[in-house]
Amino acid sequence: MRIDILTIFPNMFNGFLTESIIKRAIQDKYVDIQIHDIRAYSKDKHKKVDDYGFGGGKGMVLMPEPIFDAVEDIKTKDSKVILMTPQGEPYKQAKAYDLAKEKHLIIICGHYEGFDERIRSLADMEISIGDYVLTGGELASMVITDSIVRLIDGVIEKDSHLNDSFNNNLLDYPVYTKPVDFKGMKVPEVLLSGHHANIEKFRKEESLKRTKERRPDLLEKR
């Protein structure tokens, strides 16, 4: 899979691409992630990418031309273009599974002060990562990229995402490691029993109980 991200803040991605699972996925060629500075596509001699909005109002608005030129340059017949904006479709794990099947994603990071409305016409979909406003789409693009890359076959063990929270609209069950007794808080006996059927039953029950307590809205979707 290839992911191209268009941003006016390319340095924000340095840590994201050079640590942990994303770093390894890139090294092992499961994914090719390229960060593009929108300024590189500006035809202005000062590399300007935003300007005042028509009709007045605070703040600068991202101009359409550099972003149109960038997408035109990068797009292939397999590309899906995603625009990050708080006005987009609320992001869910099911969408991460869908996007993990794509060959090529182009992600445009919006800017909190706004982007020219005509940029919307480039996008196959608009995604919001939650009902709050970030200073730009950069962190949001990293959030969705992270959630997609870990689902690409081979990036992590399949079993470790089959039990993820939100699969089947359930939250994950609790897990424990050593020590068995930590400050009087004990690991449930059943997990030490070696009885696989009982462990499975315990986990299913805990998963349901936790979802009922914390996210009853998920159970309604089951």
Q: Given candidates 130, 154, 179, 188, which one binds ligand ADE under the rule CB under 6 A?
A: 130
Decide if 86 is catalytic: yes
Distances (CA, A) of 30 to 33, 108, 141: 10, 22, 18
Q: Please select the residue that binds ligand ADE; options are 132, 162, 184, 222, rule is CB under 6 A.
A: 132
Write the secondary structure of the chain as one string of H (helix), E (strand) and C (coil): CEEEEEECCHHHHHHHHCCHHHHHHHHCCCCEEEEEEHHHHCCCCCCCCEEECCCCCCCEEECHHHHHHHHHHHCCCCEEEEEEEEEEEECCHHHHHHHCCCCEEEEEECECCCECHHHHHHCCEEEECCCCCCCECHHHHHHHHHHHHCCCECCECHHHHHCCCCHHHCCCCCCCCCCCEECCEECCHHHHCCCHHHHHHHHHHHHHHHHHHHCHHHHHCC
Q: Binding mask 103-122 vs ligand ADE (x if CB under 6 A, - otherwise)? A: -------x-x----------
Question: How many Å apart are CA 148 and CA 99, to the nearest integer?
Answer: 7
Q: Which string of x and - marks every residue 146-175 that binds ligand ADE (by CB under 6 A)?
A: ------------------------------
Q: Which of residues 15-44 bind ligand ADE (CB under 6 A)?
A: none
Contact between 82 and ligand ADE by CB under 6 A: the answer reads no
Among 84, 99, 108, 149, which residue sits at the site for ligand ADE (rule: CB under 6 A)? 84
Choosing from 37, 98, 164, 206, the catalytic residue is: 164
86 makes contact with ligand ADE (CB under 6 A): yes
Q: How many residues does the chain have?
A: 222
Among 22, 82, 99, 137, contact with ligand ADE (rule: CB under 6 A):
137
Min dist CB 50 to ligand ADE, Å, is 15
Single out the residue of 95, 93, 73 nearest to residue 82, CA to CA: 95
For residue 7, state whether it binds ligand ADE (rule: CB under 6 A): no
Query: According to CB under 6 A, which one of 35, 70, 134, 155 is a site residue for ligand ADE?
Result: 134
* Count of residues interacting with ligand ADE (CB under 6 A): 13
Q: Does 59 bind ligand ADE (CB under 6 A)?
A: no
Residue nearest to ligand ADE (CB): 140
**Which residues participate in catalysis according to the annotation?**
86, 113, 150, 164
The residue ranges that bind ligand ADE (CB under 6 A) are: 84-86, 110, 112, 128-130, 132-134, 137, 140
